């Protein structure tokens, strides 16, 4: 009697058998190709390394400290950002270049004081989850002699 070897368990079974008597392997079923293997694992690690590297790069580009100064004597608002690599990024806007201030309540409940420049650029002066910024916004508007608008973005479209 002619036999064949079961590819699953190695048992010798008759050539005419459609299933293995030990492990019930189906000889009529097309062999399935195993996905994975060392190359797939290597590709997964490489993808994780790329994502991790990109995340690390993004985090390293974020400022570690930010200071904003509304300075009456120089009649300007100054922004200074410091990064983990020691570099500083600064910006300064004169009161004369500011058209108005906005006290904004965002849809997430954050409160912001935003300076709108004559060119339409929006520059956040302060941001906090606390409602105490409204008084500060009024103080800044008086100091800069600019109009103050209150913007409430928490209302839904159904209101």
pLDDT over 60 (residue 85): yes
pLDDT over 70 (residue 35): no
pLDDT over 50 (residue 159): no
Examine residue 29 and state whether it is found in any structural domain, yes or no.
Answer: no
CATH number at residue 133: 2.30.29.30
**What separation in angstroms does the CA of 3 have from each of 6, 25, 31, 49?**
10, 15, 19, 50
Count of beta carbons in the 10 Å neighbourhood of residue 36: 8
> Which pTM value belongs to this model?
0.58
Examine residue 24 and state whether it is found in any structural domain, yes or no.
Answer: no
Examine residue 88 and state whether it is found in any structural domain, yes or no.
Answer: yes
Examine residue 28 and state whether it is found in any structural domain, yes or no.
Answer: no
Examine residue 101 and state whether it is found in any structural domain, yes or no.
Answer: yes
% of the chain with per-residue pLDDT over 90: 45
Confidence at residue 148, expressed as pLDDT on a 0 to 100 scale: 94
Q: What is the mean pLDDT of residues 54-75?
A: 88
Backbone angles phi, psi at 19, to 5 degrees: -135, 150
The total domain count for the chain is 1
- 104: containing domain: 63-152
Helix, strand and coil content of the chain, in percent to the nearest 5, comes to 25, 35, 40
């Amino acid at each position: 009697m002619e036999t064949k070897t079961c590819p699953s368990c190695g048992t010798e079974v008759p050539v005419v058998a459609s299933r293995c008597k030990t492990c019930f392997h189906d000889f009529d079923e097309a062999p399935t190709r195993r996905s994975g293997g060392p190359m797939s694992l290597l590709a997964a690690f490489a993808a994780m390394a790329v994502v991790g590297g990109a995340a690390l790069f993004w985090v390293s580009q974020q400022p570690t400290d930010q200071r904003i100064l509304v300075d009456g004597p120089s009649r300007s608002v100054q922004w200074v950002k410091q990064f983990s690599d020691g570099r500083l990024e600064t910006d300064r806007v004169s009161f004369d270049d500011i058209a108005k201030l906005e006290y904004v309540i965002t849809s997430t409940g954050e409160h912001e004081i935003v300076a709108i420049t004559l060119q339409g650029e929006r520059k956040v002066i302060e941001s906090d989850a606390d409602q105490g910024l409204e008084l500060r916004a009024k103080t800044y508007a008086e100091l800069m002699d600019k109009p103050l608008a209150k913007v409430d973005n928490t209302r839904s479209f159904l209101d």
